[in-house]
Structures are given as C-alpha cells and as structure tokens.
Amino acid sequence: YRTCLNASVDCIRFFLRQGMTFRGNDESKNSKNQGNFLELLKFLGNHNEDINNVTLCNAPKNQQMIAPEIQKDIVNATAIETTNAIIKELGNSLFSIWVDEARDISSKEQMAVALHFVNREGCVIERFIGIMHVSSTTFLSLKMAIEALSLSMVQAYHAFEVKGEFGGLKSLVIKENKSAHYIHCFAHQLQLVLVATAKNHVHVALLFNIVTNLLNIVGASCKRRDQLRDKHVGCVFKALEKNGLVTGKCLNQEIGLKRHGDTCWGSHYGTL
C-alpha cells in the first residue's frame, strides 16, 4: 500500500511542480494515451519492478490510488503541507498580504494571495499562497476569501479595492485585528495619475489611439503578423551589420504584439 501511494504522490508532486495537467481526454484501457498521470505512473512501473508489482492492474481494484478523487485529496494535502512550510519559514516575523484580481481564459474572476516578508537571513521573500474564485469583488467578499486562506494580518491592496480612509476592506480588517496596518500601493496610484495626465494631452492620446487601431488591425490577421515579424527581422539584421545593436543571450528575440493597460506598470512603453 505504501509503495503504491508513494508512486501516486511522486507523480502528483511532479505535475504540480511543472504546472502540468493530470488527466487526458480518454483514460480507458484501450486508449493509446491515457493522460499524463497514468502514463507517468506506467513509466515509473516500467523502470521499477517494486512499483510495477503494486500499481495499476497489479493492484487491487479498490486500492489503485488513481481515481480523480484520490488525486484531488493528494493535491489538497500537498497544498496544506506547502502552506505549513511557508508559515514555519515565516515564524514570528512581520509580513504583508498581497491581494490581486485576475480573470482567466474562461472569464472567471479569481483572487490571488501572496505573502511578502523578510526571513531570518534578511532576504525579502515572496510566497504564493493560493488562488480562489470570487463571484464578487466587494470588500466583504474579498475579506471572506482571505479568511478562507487563514490570513488576516497586514495588508497591501490595490487602490481600486480600498475607497475612503475608513471604508472598504481596510476598515473591515482593522476592526477585527488592531495590529494590522494599511500600506497603499503607491506604484498603482502613480500609474493611474500618469495615464490620466497623458490622456489629457491631445497628441499623446491621438498616438495611443493610432497604436490601438494598429494592434487591432495587425493582430486580427496571421499574415499581417508574419509580415510584421519579417520586417522586424530585416531591421535587426541591418542594425547588426552596422553594430547598432547589442548582441547576447535572450537579446533581439522575435517580437510580438503587446497591448497596453492603464493599470499595468510600463505597458505603454512596452507597446511602443
């Protein structure tokens, strides 16, 4: 039993570390590709006789440790152990909670939470804690989501999440925890100020309107994208012949189309 369990745990740890998917489209016995999890478990069995003797078809049907529910249980246990390791590393040090919102490819609102602290060696450490689906981004909803992750000490939230000195998420947390301190995200505020100021300048606003239209036109066609890449490659070769570019690893790579965002620091410069 222990050997079978360890084999499944090792496979799951590998996928979690590499950020890979577990299951395949067809995991039936007749499938030529049963998905990453089962295929890796087969690979381990083919290279280790002890594992092969107690896994998959050689294991009892109620003790194969390959069911999706078993995989989820092991993933949850791994997340708990990882969080405990982070808390142990944190110790009694002061820390801040970083909360941000993102939308995935399925257009679901998700909240990411990370810890930021200084360890015993004096190094600044950032640890990702978790990501949760939030149906609402109101102050109360965010507070409940943070409490679900058992975090409610020090906070550093984006400006759009905190409105008013005594309103919003800030006051909700401080009411329950007097030791909490609010640190405003000045970089976010400065970004919004710079964007608003630039948009009031007619020529700057016109420039980025033209850039946006150009991105929409070129980005909608694969042929136009290829033409843009070919043109860029030609410019790079000409500049290299004239020693006008610095060469080295990861320099002068193939370009893509980067869209700017009002809340994304430096994105306007990257677009240009």
Q: For 178-232, what is each residue's pLDDT tens digit?
A: 666 666 667 777 878 888 888 888 888 888 888 888 888 888 888 888 888 888 8
Mark whether 96 and 180 lie in a shared domain.
yes
For the chain, the first-to-last Cα distance in angstroms comes to: 59
**What is the predicted pLDDT for the residue at 184?**
62
Is residue 96 in some structural domain?
Answer: yes
Give the whole-angstrom CA distance, residue 81 versus residue 86: 9
Other beta carbons within 10 angstroms of residue 40's beta carbon come to: 19
d(Cα 77, Cα 54) in Å, to the nearest integer? 22
Of 134, 169, 184, which residue is a domain's last?
184
All residues at 6 or more sequence positions from 50 whose CB lies less than 8 Å from its CB, including other chains: 3
At 118, give phi and psi (nearest 5°).
-110, 125
Predicted confidence (pLDDT) per residue in 45-86, tens digit: 888 888 888 888 888 877 888 888 888 899 988 888 888 888
Tell me the backbone φ, ψ of residue 210, rounded to 5 degrees.
-65, -40
Residue pLDDT, tens place only, 13-52: 998 888 888 887 777 878 888 888 888 888 988 888 888 8
pLDDT recorded at residue 126: 87
The dihedral sign for the CA sequence 231, 235, 241, 245? negative
The pLDDT assigned to 224 comes to 85
Domain final residue, candidates 45, 76, 107: 76
Q: Which of 184, 208, 229 is the last residue of a domain?
A: 184
Tell me how far apart the alpha carbons of residues 163 and 130 are, in angstroms, rounded to a whole number.
Answer: 25
User: Quick one: pLDDT band at residue 238, thresholds 50, 70, 90?
Assistant: confident
Q: Write down the pLDDT at residue 139.
A: 65
* Same domain? 37 vs 63: yes
Residue-level length of the chain? 272
